[in-house]
Amino acid sequence: MGAPADNDTPLKQQLRGIIFGTNTTAGRYFDLILMVCIILSVGLILIDTIEPIHQAYGGVIRVAEWIFTIIFTIEYLVRLYCSINRWHYARSFFGVVDLVSILPSYLALIFPGANFALAIRILRLFRIFRVLKLLRYLSEGNILLRAMVHSSRKIFIFFFSVSLIVLVLSVIMYVIEGPQNGFSSIPKAMYWTIVTITTVGYGDITPQTSLGQAIAAATMLIGYSILAIPTGILTAEISQEMGRERDLRKCSNCGHKGHDKNASYCNHCGTELESLELEIEQKD
């Protein structure tokens, strides 16, 4: 673990209240301005891939892109400067996202020349990860992300079970239909099974025998039932995460817990509460 930032000056505290807090006017304006910059920057990346626009306004887009890159660089450095635990922030999900959102623009500078055109294009497209910075301002998105992480083992077991079902059905269809009906190999049969079990049904490969068609119908029904399982797993985890988020803050006056995540004051004694973002930052 990294050591907490030393010399916690009033300037750092003020910056921390603006950048990590949302209960102050300055903090809300900062979040709003940053969200607008993120959306505009991602929009520039998208329209820059349209060849006529790139040819006509490529120079203007590059200048605007560097302006946004400098803004995000300053934001990243200030977050490092005022974080209570700098190393923890740098290794956190949002710390990595903040770094990845600015790094491609600087890395592209070390690959000049036509021989590195593909590398530059790939690096520039990596800037689209800036859109992940918006998750910082979507508390529901954070809940969903944590729910997916906590349910990852259950979801892995689920997908492993589905893979076994796909393999068994593929072998059966390969044996029943055979190469003459388009099932030329087990991998080809697996492709058909996945397309059928997800109810996509491209129709490029279709069973011709009565038994094969019956198995295809059963596979479609299995697909519909399978869709409900990961949904149920995520729903249960999201419910638990919402309960955990309500318990994050504790009133400094009466010690009451279980406040709503949007509450500014204790619903038991009326004492002003720490902002949720500041409390998380201090715990980190």
Q: What is the DSSP letter of 180?
A: G
What is the pLDDT at residue 259? 55
27-77 per-position pLDDT tens digit: 778 888 888 888 888 888 888 888 899 899 988 988 998 999 899 899 899
173 class by beta-carbon count within 10 Å (0-12 exposed, 13-18 middle, 19+ buried):
buried
Mean local confidence (pLDDT), 220-241 = 83
Determine the longest span between alpha carbons in the chain, in angstroms: 78
pLDDT > 90 in the chain, percent: 19
The answer on pLDDT for 122 being more than 70 is no
Residues 6+ apart with CB under 8 A from 174: 183, 185, 186, 188, 189
Calculate what percentage of the chain has a pLDDT beyond 70.
Answer: 70
Exposed/middle/buried for residue 43 (C-beta within 10 Å: 0-12, 13-18, 19+): exposed
Instruction: State yes or no: pLDDT of 281 exceeds 60.
Output: no
pLDDT band at 249 (very low <50, low <70, confident <90, very high): low
CA distance 42 to 40: 6
pLDDT at position 83: 83
DSSP letters, 101-162, are: HHHHHHHGGGS-SGGGHHHHHHHHHGGGGGGGGGGGG-HHHHHHHHHHHHTHHHHHHHHHHH
Phi and psi at residue 272, in whole multiples of 5°?
-65, 135
Q: Given this model, what pLDDT does residue 269 score?
A: 58
CATH dotted code for 10-140: 1.20.120.350
pLDDT band at 279 (very low <50, low <70, confident <90, very high): very low
For residue 209, pLDDT beyond 90: yes
What's the CATH code, domain 143-246?
1.10.287.70
Q: Mean pLDDT over all residues of the chain?
A: 78
CA distance 68 to 188: 47
Q: Are 180 and 154 in contact (CB under 8 A)?
A: no
Assess whether pLDDT exceeds 70 at residue 165: yes
Task: Please tell me whether residue 265 adopts helix, strand or coil conformation.
Answer: strand
Reported confidence tier of residue 123, pLDDT bands at 50, 70, 90? low
Domain boundaries, the chain: 10-140, 143-246
pTM of the model: 0.53
* 20 has pLDDT over 80: no
Q: What's residue 217's pLDDT?
A: 93
The yes-or-no answer to whether 10-140 and 143-246 have a common fold is no
